[in-house]
Amino acid sequence: MSVERKPVAFGDLRRWIAALKAQGELVEIGAEVDWNIELGTIMRLAQGPGTGKALLFNNIKDYNKPASRCRRIFGSALNSYRRIAMMLGMPPETHPRELVKLGRTILTGSIPPRIVASGPVKENILKGPDVDLYEFPAPHWNRLDGGRYLLTYGGCVTKDPDSAIMNVGIYRGMVARHDQIPILMWRAQHIGHHVTAWQEGGQTEMPIAVAIGWEPSLGFCAGTPVAKGVCEYDVMGAIRGQPVELVKCETVDLYVPATAEIVIEGYLGLDPQSYVMEGPYAEFTGYLAGDRSPKPAIRVTCITHRNDPILRGTIEGSMPGSYSENAVCSSIMRAATAWNVLDRAGVPGITDVWCPPVQAGINTLIQMKQSYRGQAKQAANALWGSSAAHVRYKHVTVVDDDIDIHDYAAVDWAIAYRVNAGEDDVVIMPATFGSGLDPSTRRRDRNPNLFGTGKWHRVLIDATINLDYDPDPEFGGARFPPLVWPDREDVDKAYARWPELGLGKPTTP
């Protein structure tokens, strides 16, 4: 039975940290840690496969003096299903399957934000010569990164020049100078739509603001595929059950959370002549990605921040044994989005959808109650033809409803014995739009002007029982032989003797 959600408005990053501490979900690190390589290494090792705690670094080399502008870094908060459940107002032990079901509707809620006159983020206002990005402990996260990345989990706010609807997204940003941050963005993203609209209006710069450090719904929504034309602030309000209180920026016509830790304001250069070198960076794929090349850069005009601000950061890149925040959030929301796409396309019989966190939704598992041959192909085509497949759903595996897609052993077993490549159970969809950050994509196929972001050959693995097979009279008309699992009666009799046999308490139902 589904658990009723009780929305929680934490108020700011500090009260979210306090809530995590109260639940035993936080580790505070008091020993001095170097922002150069060491901090990122510790965060990557400590996060584990979704099992690590949230981390608050309180003693950062070169930034631990009483007069230091920013002395703390907080990260690894949303790479745990327990903490995502807490953010969503669910019990910490909620199964990811229930979080996916909630994810199907959580982005459709809307509580509009409320504009307020001021807030703690205005406690310090820096303009002109006082702007110095190096006063904030942006880590050099990975040894092969192109530089120090200040923007890893901040909400980048832009707006459509015609509708004035704001968008909040997450884009990586590297410190190039004391007042300049080149970022990585794609034309197919909502920020890219805004860039195009501002350029068509004859502008060479676009106003932008980055809110760093607020409630967890900021990073969660900014990194999730919220529908175009919907403001992420409205969705954050629905998640927390209360309007987001916003204040107007000092130098751009944009709004940011009044209780954010840090806000960086400025203008994003749209003229390629103004681009600044950025990259590479250890990306969500778990590989170095995004070649060093000229990128649009934020010309910083103002920084506002709370007293003794906390920098929100994250280590990107998911791989076996170390799941990033982006990957764990994506495993829920990319699965929920895919399920909604399948429903809208009219694909029948879908009973579960899952994207394992180790690959952040590149591979998708679909469980269905199959009623006709070709149903799996219908599901894959519906996914691949949707805008949600922009940089996800490269490989789709479909199984019957007797296979638990949250148990990879069960999926692997289905692939082993229900897939026959000679029966069209493996299908390749060639030359579709995909991710230019994927290292398996040839360098020449990463041209965003030709392919959106990159070119993918997508694959369907149909691991459902083949309904084209003739019924076998020997097996009572079934297409496959019976399983070797004992009958329920035999299981119950055996388990009844478990204590007598010295086997302890039965663990299998």
The phi, psi pair for 238, rounded to 5°, reads -65, -40
Higher pLDDT, 185 or 341: 341
- What's the pLDDT at 280? 93
What percent of the chain is predicted at pLDDT more than 70?
A: 98
Judged by DSSP in three states, 468 sits in coil
Please classify residue 349 by burial: count the beta carbons closer than 10 Å to its beta carbon, then call 0-12 exposed, 13-18 middle and 19+ buried.
Answer: middle
- pLDDT band (50, 70, 90) for residue 3: low
pLDDT at 327 over 80: yes
pLDDT digits (tens, 9 = 90+) for 177-191: 999 999 998 777 888
Do the beta carbons of residue 172 and residue 151 sit within 8 Å? yes
* Segment 148-169 mean pLDDT: 95
Query: Which position has the higher pLDDT, 42 or 469?
Result: 42
Mean pLDDT of 88-106: 94
For residue 449, pLDDT beyond 70: no
pLDDT at 234: 96
19-28, 312-321, 461-470, 473-482: lowest mean pLDDT where? 473-482
What per-residue confidence (pLDDT) applies to 187?
74
Q: Return the percentage of the chain with pLDDT > 90, whole number.
A: 81
Q: Each residue of 190-214: pLDDT tens digit?
A: 888 899 999 999 999 999 999 999 9
Residue 399 structure tokens: 């199984």
Mean pLDDT within 3-24: 95
CB atoms within 10 A of CB 60: 22
249: helix, strand or coil: coil
pLDDT of 233-279, one tens digit each? 999 999 999 999 999 999 999 999 999 999 999 999 999 999 999 99
pLDDT of 506 strictly over 90: no
Distance of alpha carbon 321 from the chain centroid: 17
Confidence at 498, pLDDT banded by 50, 70, 90: very high
pLDDT, position 1: 42
- For residues 207-230, give the mean pLDDT: 92
Per-chain mean pLDDT for the chain: 93
pLDDT band for position 448 (50/70/90)? low
pTM of the model: 0.92
